Structure 1
Amino acid sequence: MSSPTALPLNIIFFGSTGTGKSSMINMLLGEDRALTSSGAKGCTFNNNAYPTTIEGKNYRLYDTSGLDQGSAGTVISKDALRKLYHLVRDLKDGVSLLVYCIQGRPITDTLERNYEIFYDGICCKSVPIVVVVTGLEDQTPDMDAWWKENDTHIESRNMRFDGHACVTATLGKKVKGVFRNQTEYDSSKTALRNLIVKNCRSNPWQKDTTAWFTTVANWLYRSLRSEEDRVDPLSTDLFEVLKQFLSDKDALEIVNQADMTAPDPKS
């Protein structure tokens, strides 16, 4: 009698638009299934999940965008909250790894903020996190040179990682029937697969959906304080968002557990 198939391990790919998240997922899948975009608004954060198998283990790769990319340039928009809740609900089986995708460019405040939102705010510093640096196809033969030059700066920004890989996620143009970046692309695919296998938790970190989303909402409210970044008052907006896809009772439970004052649904 065969043993039951293990549940896929959930991996969240996050980072700003244009950093190659979808391209890396396609590289792991071996086919173009995840939408890619270079536009300012991007085409991710629909919580798209892609199943795949690496070295005999089942994984589910989540393609997301940073919460700093709301349609109006705000972090805690209604749309972002709605999609965040769906992401938390879909991850009821837990999270095994965070993959932060960045480009090989100077370190910015936005990079640090996205790190904090996903690692601290969403996953409570309880999930392994790795970083993948993209856009390094022209830094041959040593793509890892970027990391050697910037790891100290990254650490000074209080960003800690369990592992890293410097890659190219594009094959480039064909020249005489051969893709320009084929060699770098193949080595990048191997490096990314090895990074996932080495750092992915086999026992996922899990929380009850309501408790988890409450924790995330509290963190966002406490940590993203500027007028530019937050919807104010968050409590009313949060209730209005949640009751679009939850019962009033469940929406009130989340808002109340988040220590926020909700409106009376009967009024």
Structure 2
Amino acid sequence: MAPGSTQNIVIFGETGVGKSSVINLMAGQQIAHISPDAPRCTLHWTEYQITFENGTRYRVFDTASLEEPRLGTGAYPPTLLNAYNLINNLKEHGGVNLLLFCIRGGRVTATMQSNYRLFFEFFCEERVPLVLVVTNLEREPRMEDWYRRNAGQLEKYNIRSAGHACLTAANLLDGRLRDKYEESRGILRGVVEAHCNAGGWTGGQGWLASFISKLVKFVVGHPKKTDIIGILTKRCGMAKEVAQQVAQRIGEELVT
């Protein structure tokens, strides 16, 4: 990756898994606010700028994600709107180069699978490298042991990654664990540099219709076709004729 270039990273995971701490670990300083009581919202994002010692710059988009495996009908409109706005924002800056999927060390759950599918399969159409970042492993004798123990469960839930980083991102550790924090920074930066795709994914033709059709499957009670058109025209600013074409492409079997 050329020094001086800028790469776009989308980091996602459930509230409380330590996304802000991972950003601070990657940056080598506290740039992201850490709050255990972060409000629950869907696909909202905050942007951070990080530069590595070799001059490579990263624009990290920290998303607030789903809390439940299925979307309620009330969460559907903001999810669609925020996804549309985020992909347009990323298009202006060269697309998505890497996904960082943060999970807390523990058992693999259906909610983890839900988040994985939403971002990797639905949002990025499986066209962006994904790195699994496992946090809260400071008490592991060897942090990598967590992955060896849980690789089978990840496979069971069809959670696949180009690479992984087992680490601790807690920066208020006592002296015995401080070395693991510094080790974790090297692990994280190494996996980012190894898997960040130089050619950013920008969505492409038909992305929005594909995303909506897959997102509808997450919704408890399918939204009406007229509601989708309304979101696209009134909240996304899309011309009515184009919105109708997008809604039509979704397929009548998915909307009523």
Q: Which of 208, 213, 220 is matched with 1:213 structurally? A: 208
What are the equivalent positions in structure 2 for 1:45-194 lying under 5 Å apart? 45-54=43-52, 55-68=54-67, 76-92=75-91, 93-140=94-141, 142-173=142-173, 181-194=177-190
For residue 128 of structure 1, report the CA deviation from its aligned partner: 0.7
Contact 2:72 2:220 in 1 (8 A): no
Residues 1:259 and 2:248 are matched in the alignment = yes
Amino acid aligned to 2:144: D
1:160-213: CA deviation from partner (whole Å, max 9, x where unpaired):
11111111111225x5xx5x64211111111000010000101112234x7322
1:7-61: CA deviation from partner (whole Å, max 9, x where unpaired):
x211110110011111111222233222322226347843211122223222111
Contact 2:42 2:65 in 1 (8 A): no
Contact 1:67 1:114 in 2 (8 A): yes
Amino acid aligned to 1:253: V
- 2:254 aligns with none
- 2:192 aligns with 196
1:72-130: CA deviation from partner (whole Å, max 9, x where unpaired):
85685222222111111111021111110001111111111111111110111111111
Point out 4+ residue stretches in structure 1 off by more than 6 angstroms.
Answer: none
- Quote the RMSD (CA, aligned, Å): 2.8
Instruction: Give the distance between the partners of 2:56 and 2:96, measured in 1 at CA.
Output: 15
What are structure 1's unaligned runs of at least 5 residues? 262-267
Taking structure 1 as reference, are residues 85 and 169 closer, same or farther at Cα in structure 2, changes over 3 Å only?
same
What are the equivalent positions in structure 2 for 1:226-265 lying under 5 Å apart? 229-230=219-220, 232-247=222-237, 249=239, 252-259=241-248
- How many corresponding residue pairs? 245
Contact 1:214 1:257 in 2 (8 A): yes
Q: Sequence identity of aligned pairs in percent?
A: 33
> Which structure: larger Rg?
1
Instruction: Give the distance between the partners of 1:68 and 1:27, measured in 2 at CA.
Output: 24
Provide TM-score, normalisation by structure 1.
0.81
Contact 1:88 1:213 in 2 (8 A): no
Contact 2:120 2:130 in 1 (8 A): yes
Taking structure 1 as reference, are residues 119 and 44 closer, same or farther at Cα in structure 2, changes over 3 Å only?
closer
For residue 67 of structure 1, report the CA deviation from its aligned partner: 3.7
Provide TM-score, normalisation by structure 2.
0.84
What are structure 2's unaligned runs of at least 5 residues? 251-256
1:220-248: CA deviation from partner (whole Å, max 9, x where unpaired):
12x32xxxx34532433333333344435
